[in-house]
Structure 1
Amino acid sequence: MTTRRGFIKAGGLALFGIGSGGIPSFLAKAAANIQSPRLFQRKKVLICIFQRGAMDGLMAVTPFTDPYLKAARPTLFMSAAKSSNNPLIDLDGRFGLHPSLSAFEPMFRENRLAIVHGIGSPNTTRSHFDAQDYMESGTPFKKGTPSGWLNRAAGLLGHDAATPFQAVSLTSSLPRSLYGDSQAVAINNLRDFHVQLRGDQAGANMAAKSFESLYDQASQDLLKQTGKESFEAVKMLQTTASKNYKPAGNAVYPGSALGNSLKQIAQLIKMDVGLEVAFAESGGWDTHFNQGTQTGLFARNLSDLSSSITALWTDLEAMQDDVTIMTMTEFGRTVHQNGTGGTDHGRGSCNFILGNDVKGGLVHGKVAPLAIENLEDGRDLMVTTDFRSVFSEVANKHLGISDNKILFPEWTGEFINVMRG
């Protein structure tokens, strides 16, 4: 027989939007018995954004003085020359920011935004599925790791989760990063919910029926322990999340999936529900053809990414000291463009880290001249920074997590000095 506590903790709960239907009656009934929601002391928050599909780091942040890159990309190379049409934003005389990332420039100049170039996995796979799995599990040479690194991070925060919203993903299902023993939820929409276990629709139906059955059998007992915490949180979100939410600081979120996810993360932070680890994702980075330069698919994705992150940062205003935002992508793209105006699966890419405790205003990492003898397998930007070096440093310096043997059990490297303190 499934116990209440065992059922609730099995694999994490997911709360999904169901439109105008509202939360199930048994959840609403349970929540109605609670006199007041519990508020939680504000803590540091790490927000991770996965760019799925493998972002071309060489176009996002271009070593524009490199003649080898110019030769390798006759129609994709972009210049920082002022005389060119919509040029790259010169960051330091060597690297240029894609013009669609212009929203990032002020934060870079203010030393709040750092870029790590040549970042990637030590595993040489060019499979999207495998590379994402390795990066999210944090074990790039071990398949089948049951937990994700963000779930392990939540478990290493030094205290038990007093709230179901310690670790939250604003996605339609729980990402690999948040699999594990620590409680984590996926929320598709803050205003309307139903309860679902990680799994298929049959699992969803089973979850709802089992929860309702548990409520009918022992409603008072259910409200006393773990179930009570979940119901309290559901009530808190239902009553507090506003359909007419007005971001602070004149922040304007794009109407994209990523923009909506980050806006809801901002609401969760402001609602003091105990959020410490947040996850969102951005798709469409697999640019095999018609990648474009100043315009096109890649440029649109960059604009959405930078505008969404900038809106979130602006919206948080006085809470910025408590928040660090970090992007990640499974690998980069080939140095040479292909025959269809795109780039193929590569190795090294770059990522962005935003926060007041970040050593910003710098392009960290090593990018050698892109001559063929310096390329991995003669075709790719070499991975010179293991992603675990960056992820572990951010978790250590921002969240205070020091046990790297648990966070990244196979890693024995060093930090790259991208964080202050």
Structure 2
Amino acid sequence: MVNRRGFVKSGALALFAAGFGGVPSFIARAADSKKIIPPYKKNKVLVCIFQRGAMDGLMAVSPYADPNLKALRPTLYMSPSATEGGLTDLDGKFGLHPGLKNLYPFFTEGRMAIVHGVGSPNNTRSHFDAQDFMESGTPFNKGTASGWLNRAVGLTGHDGSPFRAVSLTSALPRSFYGDNEALAISNLQDFAIQMRGNPMATNMAAKSFEQLYDETSSQILNRTGKESFDAMKMLSAANIKNYQPANGAVYPNSALGNSLKQIATLIKMDVGMEIGFAESGGWDTHYNQGTANGILSRNLQDFGDSIAAFWKDMAAYQDDVTVMTMTEFGRTAHQNGTGGTDHGRASCLFVLGNDVQGGKVYNNIKSLAKADLEDGRDLPVTTDFRSVFSAVANGHLNINNNSKLFPQWDGSSLSMMKS
């Protein structure tokens, strides 16, 4: 259950301390009288990015060496090339789309792994259902109330900050539904917060931080209420709006770039974040998909540049941060008649972190011959998404409880983490 009083006292105090380089005097006096805990220590942080709309994994990380690919995609086929606009060869079999070129150094350094042929065992081609199944972590049960990331929060085995699970979205994602504290903050500058998954949600959803202040009956906040909120406004103006990324990192001015920049802000504030969530849209490329240029290329460029900027910004925190991406399904192996691709089955995902056994494309793909395609048209799912999600959660957050993290699943985690 999200505790409103606990959120206001503990979470706001931590933000105050990070913004002012210390706790303001009026807060310090109140904290001393009520023994409010100090700002939270640095945690291991998992950052998840959901690519909504179904990314074409066969173009993002192309199995260019398969002789069937060019026949399946006569105008969408790409090959490695020394000239600008070609794939970057990864291992003699797979090539990275030029839009993702800023991720390539992480692959060569062994920090980034790619998992291909990954997806859900449920063969639905409905965006809504596939996203719901992936975020609940129960691909054959639509009645699961909680999301897998909310369960992960509860399995960390310790009390946490009200900011331990934060989604930089306007509404709480399905992954965060459940009994454990989770916040959706559309923009740190105005602290618009929406909560779901607890008995108070009906009354609290979409209420601003200031409204929560006004409604609290806590004695400590009654004494300092408006003064405290004014400090929060100062923090927003002086520290969040004017946040300067480290090491010259430049985030794209896009929804994903801005979300990752704000996640970086919270991580550096040491407010106890353990799971951050962001979204990237526009991956439903039914027509005019393009190759080195076009809709998909622009999306990949933003996606790659946003992650690269975030990782550069996180230089001092890289040992504690892992990034994992996901998408609900892939696209058809065969291009359609309008230069695009339709809803398919498997796609690929990326995992970036110093505890990742990177520099490898993990896959069990046989070939793109018709006999090896699902229904003769789709790249089959040869790696269950839960194998990857559990590997990252176990290896990075040290959860190690697959039966609770993913109920009704008896599979095994992919061996892709160093610990």
Query: Which category of TM-score, normalised to the shorter sequence, fits these structures?
Result: 0.7 to 0.9
2:80 alignment counterpart: 80
Q: Alpha-carbon deviations, 1:154-178, whole Å to 9, x = none?
A: 11111012x2100000111110000
CA distance in 1, matches of 2:190, 2:211: 20
How far residue 213 of structure 1 moved from its aligned partner, in angstroms, is 6.6
2:355 is aligned to 357
Partner of 2:342: 344
Contact (CA 8 Å) 2:251, 2:257: kept in 1 or not? yes
User: What amino acid is aligned across from residue 137 of structure 2 in structure 1?
Assistant: G
Q: CA deviation at 1:79?
A: 1.1
Partner of residue 183, structure 1: 181
| Structure 1 residues 192 and 219: alpha-carbon distance in aligned structure 2, compared to 1, 3 A threshold | same
Equivalent pair of 1:240/1:271 in contact (CA under 8 Å): no
Partner residue, 1:303: 301
- Whole-Å separation in 2 of the counterparts to 1:51 and 1:396: 22
Query: 1:109 — aligned with what?
Result: 108
Q: Tell me which residue corresponds to 2:416.
A: 418
CA distance in 2, matches of 1:410, 1:149: 13
Distance in 2 between residues matched to 1:155 and 1:88, nearest whole Å:
41
Q: Which stretch of the first structure deviates more once superposed, 135-144 or 193-202?
A: 193-202
> Shift in Å at residue 221 of structure 1?
6.6
2-side partners of 1:195 and 1:296: how far apart? 35
Shift in alpha-carbon separation, 1:356–1:220, aligned structure 2, 3 A:
same
1:186 aligned counterpart, secondary structure: strand
Alpha-carbon distance between aligned partners in 1 of 2:364 and 2:230, rounded to the nearest angstrom:
48
Matched residues in 2 for 1:308 and 1:330: separation?
A: 20
Give me the identity figure in percent. 62
Cα deviation for residue 222 of structure 1 reads: 6.4
Q: Is the 8 A contact 2:319 2:355 kept in 1?
A: yes
Letter in 2 for 1:258: L
The 3 A distance-change label for structure 1 pair 356 and 236 is: farther
- CA 1:195/1:284 → structure 2, altered by over 3 Å: closer, same or farther? closer
Number of the residue aligned with 2:136: 137
Q: Distance in 2 between matches of 1:197 and 1:233?
A: 23
Tell me, in whole angstroms, the C-alpha distance in 2 between the residues paired with 1:209 and 1:246.
26
Contact 2:191 2:208 in 1 (8 A): no
Shift in CA distance, 32/6, structure 1 to aligned 2, threshold 3 Å: farther
> In structure 2, how many angstroms separate the alpha carbons of the residues matched to 1:136 and 1:232?
37
Aligned positions of 1:12-411 closer than 5 A: 34-35=27-28, 38-82=38-82, 86-161=85-160, 163-198=161-196, 204=205, 211=212, 214-215=215-216, 218-220=217-219, 238=236, 241-411=239-409
Counterpart Cα distance in 2 of 1:6 and 1:357: 31
Summarize the Cα distance change of 1:155–1:233 in structure 2 as closer, same or farther, 3 Å threshold. Answer: farther
Indicate the SS of the match to 1:326: strand
Q: Distance in 2 between matches of 1:386 and 1:111?
A: 23
For 1:139 and 1:33, locate their aligned partners in 2 and report how far apart those are by CA, in whole Å: 48
User: Contact 1:34 / 1:232 at 8 angstroms: preserved in 2?
Assistant: no
Residue identity matched to 2:44: K
In the TM superposition, residue 193 of structure 1 has moved relative to its aligned partner by: 2.4
The residue type paired with residue 107 of structure 1 is F
Shift of 1:242: 2.9
**Alpha-carbon RMSD:** 3.0
Aligned residue type for 1:267: T
TM-superposed deviation, 1:269: 0.5
Q: Secondary structure at the match of 1:154?
A: helix
Give the letter for the 2:412 counterpart.
E
Go from structure 1 to structure 2 and tell me whether the alpha carbon gap of 1:255 and 1:201 turns closer, same or farther (over 3 Å shift).
farther
In structure 2, C-alpha distance between the alignment counterparts of 1:33 and 1:196, rounded to whole Å? 28
| Cα shift at 1:368 | 1.3
**Partner SS for 1:269:** helix
| Residue identity in the other structure for 1:164 | P
Match of 1:307, SS?
Answer: helix
Helix, strand or coil at the partner of 1:75: coil
SS in 2 for 1:388: helix
1:190 CA drift (Å): 1.3
For 1:142 and 1:197, the matched residues in 2 are separated by 23
Q: Normalised by the size of structure 1, how large is the TM-score? A: 0.86
Q: Is the 8 A contact 2:183 2:194 kept in 1?
A: no
Q: Is the 8 A contact 2:113 2:359 kept in 1?
A: yes
Amino acid at match of 1:382: P
Instruction: After TM superposition, give the deviation of residue 273 of structure 1 in Å.
Output: 0.3
Gaps of 5+ in 2: 9-23, 32-36
Distance in 2, matches of 1:34 and 1:326, equals 37
Q: Partner amino acid for 1:274?
A: G
Paired with 1:169 and 1:358, the residues of 2 have a C-alpha distance of 23
